[in-house]
Amino acid sequence: MEAKLQLRIQRYGWDKAAADYEEYWRKQIEPAQKRLLEMAALVGGERVLDIACGTGLITFPAAMSVGAQGSVVGTDISEKMIERGRENAARQGLANVTFQRADAAASDFPESSFDAVLCSLGLMYVPEPIHALRRASQLLKPGGRMAAAVWGAARPLRLGRDFSGGGRACEIGGLSDVLPVGNGRQFADGDGNGRLR
């Protein structure tokens, strides 16, 4: 399927799902999101990007982790998801959270803008996930990190040495890693050390 058409279909579907998303998905995806936040190891004062943030199910816990001195930007292709995220942020009184509509692979942020990039259960919907990962890597500050969770079993992902530089790392876990549908964690990179570098 052509990437533009896929994005349009995704945007339409997520706009339609926005009103009921949290009610039907929060508990089911909570184990994966908890593991994702553990992998990210966020600390106070950091600047975080949450790609494919939906209504903010990871955005808000990330904001609590980085505290008032830090900030979290949630992006999603669905305007309705972004609107719900903004409403939730206002209701919770979180001043360190912002939301904006953006494609995972085509954000306008300057390079080296974030200490951490998160993507919880969104990467597998991106038409060109490798391109999105490379773009996310460019947004990391030297020494920054990315954590992503995807549906299905974790498999070795080989991106080659051009994925990133400057000490950036990425860990990707599948839901079978945290839900009772598989066994064990697998992470792999171009040289097999368990991290994408």
How far is C-alpha 50 from the geometric centre of its chain's CA atoms? 5
pLDDT of residue 124: 80
Model pLDDT, residue 7: 72
Q: What domains can you pick out in the chain, each with its CATH number?
A: 3-177 (3.40.50.150)
Strand partners, 50: 74, 118
pTM, to two decimals: 0.75
* pLDDT tens per residue, range 134-183: 889 899 999 899 998 887 665 554 443 333 334 334 444 443 333 332 22
Task: Write the CB contacts of 80 (distance below 8 Å, at least 6 apart in sequence).
Answer: 14, 15, 16, 18, 19
Asked if 171 and 147 count as a contact pair (C-beta separation under 8 A), the reply is: yes
If one counts every other C-beta atom within 10 angstroms of the C-beta of residue 28, the result is 10
47 forms beta bridges with 71
SS3 assignment, position 164: coil
Is 159:130 a contact under the CB 8 Å cutoff?
A: yes
